[in-house]
Amino acid sequence: MKYVTISPELNQVSNLALGIMRWGDLTIEQATAALIAAQQCGINFLDSADIYSHGRCEEVFGQAFQMGNFQRDDWFIQSKVGIVPHKRYDFSKQHLLDSVDTILSRMQIDYLDLLVLHRPDPLMDLTEIQTAFDILIANGKVHHFGVSNFNAAQIKLLQSGLHQKLVVNQLQFSLAHTAMIDFGLHTNLDDAAGIDRDDGTLEYCQQHQLTVQAWSPFQHGFSVGTFIDNPHFGNLNVVLDQLAHKYQTNKNAVAAAWILRHPAKWQVILGTTHPDHIINSAQCNNFTLTRQEWYNLYLAAGHDLP
Ligand SMILES: NC(=O)c1ccc[n+]([C@@H]2O[C@H](COP(=O)([O-])OP(=O)(O)OC[C@H]3O[C@@H](n4cnc5c(N)ncnc54)[C@H](OP(=O)(O)O)[C@@H]3O)[C@@H](O)[C@H]2O)c1
């Protein structure tokens, strides 16, 4: 495993994280097995959100964490708040404070290492967020803050109203979802790939030392399914397979290594619930793709170079 420094106090954080979005239907035994597999690989970071399966994922985590006798100090635990499903995004002070209390209770823990605002709320009031964050720091319930799916302008705006530095931005990024780099490759062209939809967010995170957490690293869309072994991604799977053979590893590891080859500070958020897939993915840290291999994978995924 390799480790990143998210902030001076948040160091030695694994560059792979275990995401629990798909844990709603797991038994406690299955969830415990996933935690054990992750820990054996050196993964020490967990990502959640209060909305996952209406809170069930966090309950399953809490029970598995207790059952497996895991030590709180051995893990960095992050959750996300601010979405009221099918109704609104809500960064009001009371919603943030109440959400954290609910999360801590469900996960059976006393504090979150990181609290992340899940999706930008156009109605966000900087004073309210600042007050909520200051209260959460003062009462020890949250140690650090970040954002998810924020563009550069939104981060700048929010940061201008806070006493704490935002340390992560969680964004969708994978071989099959590359908008954040496509537009840079197509700068000054009038094709569709050249449209900057996110205000140079990746470059902003690099420049300002925000760790980028790649969500859905093996998915095409949010719910379309994985591109690994998917016949709709035939060319990509051929190249993934070639490189898996070359590095004596597997396709998940190559796909994760592709993300980590980019020079930003990354964490890859694994959504697999399967211990073998966790162990396979963790092999991504055993090798480094060459520059040409990185481009070969990008092209095989169906993207083009001008
Ligand atoms: N910030 C946001 O807006 C946002 C949005 C979505 C997700 N997230 C976070 O990102 C995490 C990861 O998202 P994700 O679950 O979409 O990520 P993912 O790791 O790309 O996808 C996991 C899914 O792919 C399957 N899979 C992986 N490798 C496979 C293989 N070799 N063969 C067959 N199936 C395979 C898994 O099945 P198995 O379980 O059987 O392995 C699982 O269903 C979430 O848990 C959550 O923490 C954040």
| Ligand 1 atom nearest to CA at 225 | 24
Q: How much is the pLDDT for 61?
A: 98
How far is ligand 1, taken at its centre, from the CA of residue 46, in Å?
A: 13
- At residue 63, does pLDDT exceed 90? yes
Q: In angstroms, rounded to a whole number, what is the distance separating the alpha carbons of residues 296 and 88?
A: 41
* Mean pLDDT across 254-266: 98
| pLDDT higher than threshold 70 for residue 223 | no
Predicted confidence band of residue 254 (pLDDT cuts 50, 70, 90)? very high
CB atoms within 10 A of CB 33: 18
What is the whole-number distance in angstroms between the Cα of residue 200 and the centre of ligand 1?
25
Tokens of 119: 């999706």
pLDDT category, 88, cuts 50, 70, 90? very high
Coil, helix or strand at residue 262? coil
Quickly count: other Cβ atoms within 10 Å of residue 95's Cβ. 18
Q: What is the pLDDT of residues 291-306, one digit of tens each?
A: 999 999 999 999 999 9
What residue's CA is closest to ligand 1, atom 40?
Answer: 274
Q: Domain 3-300 is in which class?
A: alpha beta
Q: Is the dihedral of CA 238, 242, 245, 250 positive or negative?
A: negative
Q: What is the mean pLDDT of residues 108-117?
A: 98
For range 74-90, the mean pLDDT: 97
State in Å: Cα 114 to ligand 1 middle.
20
Residue 80 to residue 157: CA distance in whole angstroms: 19
pLDDT of 195 higher than 90: no
Q: Indicate if the pLDDT at residue 196 is higher than 90.
A: no
Ligand 1 site residues, Cβ closer than 6 angstroms: 19-22, 47, 148-149, 170, 215-219, 226, 228-229, 252, 269-274, 277
- What is this structure's pTM? 0.97
State pLDDT tens for residues 93-106: 999 999 999 999 99
Q: Work out the average pLDDT over 261-281.
A: 97
Sort strands 83-84 and 88-89 into parallel, antiparallel or unpaired. antiparallel
Number of other CB atoms surrounding residue 297 within 10 Å: 23
Question: What's the CA-to-centroid distance between 219 and ligand 1, angstroms?
Answer: 7
The three-state DSSP-derived secondary structure of 135-186 is HHHHCCCEEEEEEECCCHHHHHHHHHCCCCCEEEEEEECECCECHHHHHHHC
CA atoms within 13 A on the CB side of 90: 16
The band of 153, judged by pLDDT with boundaries at 50, 70 and 90, is: very high
Does the pLDDT at position 222 exceed 70?
Answer: no
- Which residue out of 218, 222, 250, 281 has the highest number of ligand 1 atoms within 8 Å of its CB and is therefore the one to mutate? 218
Q: What is the pLDDT of residues 133-147, one digit of tens each?
A: 999 999 999 999 999
Mean pLDDT of 170-195: 93
The yes-or-no verdict on residue 270 having pLDDT over 90 is yes
Instruction: Please state whether beta strands 3-4 and 13-14 pair in parallel, antiparallel, or not at all (unpaired).
Output: antiparallel
Mean pLDDT of 237-248: 98
When pLDDT is averaged across residues 11-40 and rounded to a whole number, the result is: 97
* Ligand 1 atom closest to residue 20's alpha carbon, by position in its atom list: 45
Q: What is the mean pLDDT of residues 179-190?
A: 92
pLDDT band at 221 (very low <50, low <70, confident <90, very high): confident
Q: Considering the chain, what is the average pLDDT of its residues? A: 96
Q: What percent of the chain has pLDDT over 90?
A: 94
* 47 — pLDDT class (breaks 50, 70, 90): very high
pLDDT value at 255 more than 90: yes
